[in-house]
């Protein structure tokens, strides 16, 4: 991070040197552009694959992801597929619902960890339809241990409002109405700074999941508090119709309002999805070394066994 500055500090009694004004206008223009250009944040989510076989239902072999909001751009920046198989020579393929993304393959080695990766990006273009990454294998194979890491890159400069910079009109000895010209320049640079302030919603995602969670039981994840802002949660459930899964993200210290989401099961081989927004409370005063300030993510299968349940939490 570079520190914005202007090179000349004016004070009453000095001569108003127009070149110094121009220096300042150009410097602050560069500072604004540096801030606006710093628009991307990186994070990753992990989708566990333990126990899956080639014959597992497709929704269990599939990671779905959507934007938290229509104007919160997210792209899959890279993926890493890690699999320990029960046999050797089984070829697992990871494909994407956006078929422009080239699929990747991984050949198992019995009892050994094998990794495949891709650095081809693909956009998560909607907050109402999912991008799906689906794993498949044409031979008989069981994943003893495995996970899919999806690296995400979020763009704060694509939030539906202008993210334009400021390009100064320099003053000279021929400039008429200098005060009015400076007012205009300061107004314009102020507007660009305001755009930098307004487009402040970065996104960093985390994923918490459980497979085969029996009815009435919960899994509680616990993470240290830190400087961040909770934005939204998106919950996915594979569960028999009539069941439901409750998700809760809470702060033990009360640093942010508890976010709850209940998703009704749509069938043992169907994926249900819902989302909930958060108040956007800022957390930065909590102490991550103090367990009393921890954040908890709780997944509860309310009535039926949840075959698969996962929650994507979007933080800013």
Partner 1 sequence: MALTPFTSPISLTQLRSNFDDKTATLLTNARAGAKDQVVSLYLASLTSGASEFSRSVAWTQQDDAELRLLMARVTDTGARAIGLALTVENGDTLFLVDHSIALSFNTVNGTTDQRTDYRTTTGTRVRLLKGVRYRLAFTNTSGGTVGGPLIANVQLRSIRRRA
- For partner 1, the binding residues in 116-135 under the rule CB under 8 A are 117
Number of residues lying near partner 1 (CB under 8 A): 75
Region from 61-69, 177-185, 245-253, 298-306 binding partner 1, contact rule CB under 8 A: 177-185
x/- mask, partner 1, residues 4-23, rule CB under 8 A, reads: xxx--xxxxxx-x----x--
Per CB under 8 A, the list member of 18, 22, 44, 215 interacting with partner 1 is: 44
For partner 1, the closer CB: 16 or 70:
16
Q: Check binding of 63 to partner 1 (CB under 8 A).
A: no
Q: Check binding of 160 to partner 1 (CB under 8 A).
A: no
For partner 1, the closer CB: 91 or 178:
178
| Nearest partner of 308 among 247, 223, 228, 237, judged by Cα | 237
Q: Check binding of 176 to partner 1 (CB under 8 A).
A: no
Distance CA 13, CA 162 (A): 39
Distance CA 124, CA 312 (A): 14
Per CB under 8 A, the list member of 39, 67, 163, 271 interacting with partner 1 is: 39
* Rounded least distance, CB 135 to partner 1, Å: 17
Q: Check binding of 90 to partner 1 (CB under 8 A).
A: no
Bridge-based pairing of strands 218-223 and 295-301 is antiparallel
Per CB under 8 A, the list member of 70, 120, 164, 186 interacting with partner 1 is: 186
Q: Check binding of 143 to partner 1 (CB under 8 A).
A: no
Q: Check binding of 298 to partner 1 (CB under 8 A).
A: no
Region from 54-62, 140-148, 248-256, 263-271 binding partner 1, contact rule CB under 8 A: 140-148
3-state secondary structure 136-205: EECCCCEEEEEEEEEEEEEECCCCCCCCCCCCCCCCCCCCCCHHHHHHHHHHHHHHHHHHHHHCCCCCEE
Region from 25-33, 56-64, 127-135, 235-243 binding partner 1, contact rule CB under 8 A: 25-33
* Rounded least distance, CB 24 to partner 1, Å: 6
Do residues 49 and 62 lie in contact, with contact meaning Cβ atoms separated by under 8 Å?
no
For partner 1, the closer CB: 16 or 129:
16
Q: Check binding of 58 to partner 1 (CB under 8 A).
A: no
Q: Check binding of 109 to partner 1 (CB under 8 A).
A: no
The tokens describing 261, both together, are 């989401």
Region from 89-97, 144-152, 256-264, 272-280 binding partner 1, contact rule CB under 8 A: 144-152
Distance CA 66, CA 89 (A): 33
Query: Residue 6, class by beta-carbon neighbours within 10 Å (0-12 exposed, 13-18 middle, 19+ buried)?
Result: middle
Cβ atoms within 10 Å, residue 20: 16
| CB environment 112-135: b (16+ within 10 A), e (fewer) | eebebebeeebbbeebeebbbbbb
Region from 87-95, 124-132, 237-245, 285-293 binding partner 1, contact rule CB under 8 A: 285-293
Do residues 159 and 46 lie in contact, with contact meaning Cβ atoms separated by under 8 Å?
no
Q: Three-state DSSP class for 116?
A: strand
Cβ atoms within 10 Å, residue 205: 22
Region from 28-36, 59-67, 94-102, 124-132 binding partner 1, contact rule CB under 8 A: 28-36
């Amino acid at each position: 991070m570079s520190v914005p500055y202007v090179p000349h500090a004016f004070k009453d009694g000095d001569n108003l040197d127009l070149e110094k004004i121009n220096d300042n206008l150009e410097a602050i223009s560069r500072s604004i552009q540096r801030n606006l250009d710093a628009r991307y944040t990186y994070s990753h989510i992990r989708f566990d694959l333990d126990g899956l076989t080639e014959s597992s239902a497709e929704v269990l072999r599939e990671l779905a992801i959507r934007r938290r909001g229509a104007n919160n751009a997210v792209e899959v920046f890279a993926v890493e597929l890690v699999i320990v198989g029960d046999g050797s020579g089984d070829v697992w393929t990871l494909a994407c619902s956006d078929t422009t993304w080239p699929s990747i393959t991984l050949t198992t080695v019995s009892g050994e960890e094998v990794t495949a990766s891709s650095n081809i990006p693909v956009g998560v273009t909607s907050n109402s339809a999912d991008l799906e990454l689906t794993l498949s294998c044409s031979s008989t194979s069981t994943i003893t241990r495995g996970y899919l890491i999806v690296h995400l890159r979020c763009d704060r400069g694509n939030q539906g409002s202008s993210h334009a910079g400021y390009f100064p009109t320099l003053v000279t000895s021929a400039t008429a109405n200098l005060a009015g010209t400076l007012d205009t320049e300061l107004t314009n640079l102020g507007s660009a700074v305001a755009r930098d302030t307004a487009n402040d919603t970065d996104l960093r995602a985390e994923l918490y999941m459980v497979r085969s969670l029996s009815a009435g039981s919960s899994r509680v994840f616990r993470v240290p508090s830190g400087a961040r802002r909770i934005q939204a949660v998106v919950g996915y459930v594979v569960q028999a119709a009539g069941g439901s899964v409750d998700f809760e993200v809470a702060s033990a210290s009360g640093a942010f309002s508890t976010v709850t989401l209940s998703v009704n099961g749509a069938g043992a081989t169907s994926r249900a999805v819902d989302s909930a927004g958060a108040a956007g409370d800022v957390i930065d005063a909590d102490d991550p070394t103090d367990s009393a300030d921890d954040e908890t993510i709780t997944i509860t299968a309310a009535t039926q066994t949840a075959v698969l349940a996962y929650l994507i939490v979007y933080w800013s």
